[in-house]
Chain A
Amino acid sequence: MSEEFIIETEGLTKRYGSYTAVNQLGLNIREGEIFGFLGPNGAGKTTTLLMFLGLTEPTAGKVRVCGLDPARDPIRVKEQVGYLPENVGFYDDLDALENLRFVARLNRVPDNESAKRIDELLSLVGLHEEAEKKVGAYSKGMRQRLGIAEVLVKEPRLVFLDEPTIGLDPDGTNRMLDLISSLSREKKITVFLSSHLLDQVQRICDRVGIMIKGNLVAVGPIEELARQRWGVDKEHHTLEEIYMKYFKEA
């Protein structure tokens, strides 16, 4: 397996009993790109993320994340990989600072270093003013931004974001998307974004993969996917049109 891919999978399969959640997934992600992982609810996106993190074991197939096998080396993978679950939770009776400090300690970041890091991250996500407010009083958008800060505390190479913009108002969504693309541009972090909100994915992703019923039906840059489907390079194909076409076929 080559060095340039940060995630490599081959025939990755996960079955729950007779139900196949992920079927024969073969996917390579380059270091530094923003990858959009699309699919309807229940398509197997979260299951795939859990296998990448070593939180659930694949039934068959190979997966390597940062050159490691997550099923065998989950701790070392999780040291380098951040994961923002859908609707992330916090300790509501602690403030933002305390929540971040706790996660920093779990990642064995020394306290004097984490203080500096947390300070920077809170400014990055725009929560510096509210740092000493209990997280229970945060709005949904603030919680999601705090989630991003929390994922970055360990200074990851790769972050998995599961539906990071769901339930945010338009302004919150825009701020979140800008934040995500700045991670890739400025911090050179690979972003693996799972979502079903197509226009947002279209705005920031370099490449997308479409997953339907456990199968990866298409992968590539958005323009290329359009070209593949319609033969000619038409400019006005939105991701939504491409997606619906695949969805109807499946």
Chain B
Amino acid sequence: MHGIYPLYRKEMADHFSSTRFLLISALIVMVGVLTASMVGMSIQEESKGLAKPTLLFLLLFTATGKLFSFIQFIGFFGPLMGIILGFDAINRERAQRTLSKLAAQPIYRDAIINAKFLAGVTMITIVLLAIILIISGLGIRLIGVVPGAEEIWRLFIYFVLSILYISFWLGISILFSVTFRTTATSALASLAIWIFFSFFLGLGSGLLADAIAPVQGSSVTPEMVLKHAQVQKIVSSISPMILYSDATSTILDPMRKTTSSLLLMGPLERLSLSRFQNPLPLLQSLYIVLPHLVSLVAITLLCFGICYAVFMRQEVRTI
């Protein structure tokens, strides 16, 4: 596409030279190394004496060491990286009056926003890849287990899910950078959404479930409890965080066979869970998280689509 390459190149150069990006990657890499070494050492302790430990490698990413697991960390702080990469994408150009100059060059207008989004996604990919490689490298040294093909595939799917998830937040923050004129407002708006999804939606889904399907009074039936749990699950699955954490914990942990809680399982499902204790094959895990994967792709594309449409429809006078 016309003009996208020089723009992309410039965005990448800007990202690599920006201080805030270096800061956040340093933070993420540091925490990644810390969790990996903590978890790695505790696995080392526990697996001592086991004749043939299975699926140890993926535990590096899923086990909660002293504080939290790596996937919880990315679930919580990954959005921050997306927001930092995108919150001033368009309104900074507007503030320094370069946007109208770009519009006067022989490029399509969508090249501007596409290049920014692509450059952001590339940065996310680079940082995540770096962290995963650091953890794998450290982990292999610490626990001395080389990952098999299936574990690498699982890790790869996790990698793709994480890129999508953080790209969603990149999309949100670019959208706010298109709609708000000042960078401070767009940053705060993105952070507000982040806080809403990470803290309040959990609480809110409980409250909403209480209102729609109350579990109280003298005669509490199992149906009431079930309905309450269903409502809560539906509401909380609006949140990309819930989607992401459900999907990633299932894909990285072959012992997990469902994303629903014990309460919501049917009797047969519960029966099969107690009968068959073996890990799920990769393909079956993938089937379980496929709806989550599709939803993540959908909300990311939707978010970028809105952002694109808003940007393309803005009068040049205002840009």
Contact = CB atoms under 8 A, between A and B. Distances in A.
B98 A91 contact: yes
Interface string A67-107: 00000000110110011010111111100000000110111
13 contacts: A53-B104, A75-B106, A75-B107, A78-B104, A85-B100, A88-B97, A89-B96, A89-B98, A89-B99, A102-B6, A106-B3, A106-B106, A108-B106
B313 interface: no
Contacts of B99: 89
Given A50-B317, A90-B96, A83 B104 contact: yes
Interface of B: 2-3, 6-7, 9-10, 17, 96-108, 315-317
A55 B102 CA distance: 11
Nearest to A160: B104
Contact of A55 (B6, B10, B98, B103): B103
A56 B317 contact: yes
Contacts of B2: 75
Contacts of A82: 104
B316 A102 contact: no
Nearest to B111: A106
B104 A85 contact: yes
A106 B100 contact: no
A56 B96 contact: no
Nearest to B102: A106
B18 to A, nearest CB: 9
A75 B106 CA distance: 5
Contacts of B317: 46-47, 50, 56
B115 to A, nearest CB: 11
Interface residues of A, number: 28
A115 B106 CA distance: 20
Nearest to B105: A106
Contacts of A56: 315-317
Contacts of A154: 105-106
Contacts of B101: 83, 85, 88-89, 103, 150
Given A78-B104, A78-B105, A87-B97, 14 more contacts: A47-B317, A55-B316, A76-B106, A83-B101, A85-B104, A88-B97, A89-B97, A89-B98, A91-B96, A103-B101, A106-B3, A106-B102, A106-B106, A107-B106
Contacts of A89: 96-101
Contacts of A93: 17
B7 A106 contact: yes
Contacts of B107: 75, 106
A83 B103 CA distance: 10
A154 B97 CA distance: 20
A102 B315 contact: no
B313 to A, nearest CB: 12
A92 to B, nearest CB: 6
Interface string A149-166: 010001000000000000
B119 to A, nearest CB: 14
Contacts of B10: 102
Contact of A92 (B3, B96, B100, B106): B96
A102 B96 CA distance: 16
A79 B106 CA distance: 5
A106 B6 CA distance: 6
Contacts of B100: 85, 89
Interface string A106-131: 11100000000000000000000000
Nearest to A85: B100
Contacts of B102: 106
Contacts of A83: 101, 104
Contacts of A78: 104-106
B19 to A, nearest CB: 11
A185 B100 CA distance: 28
A103 B96 contact: no
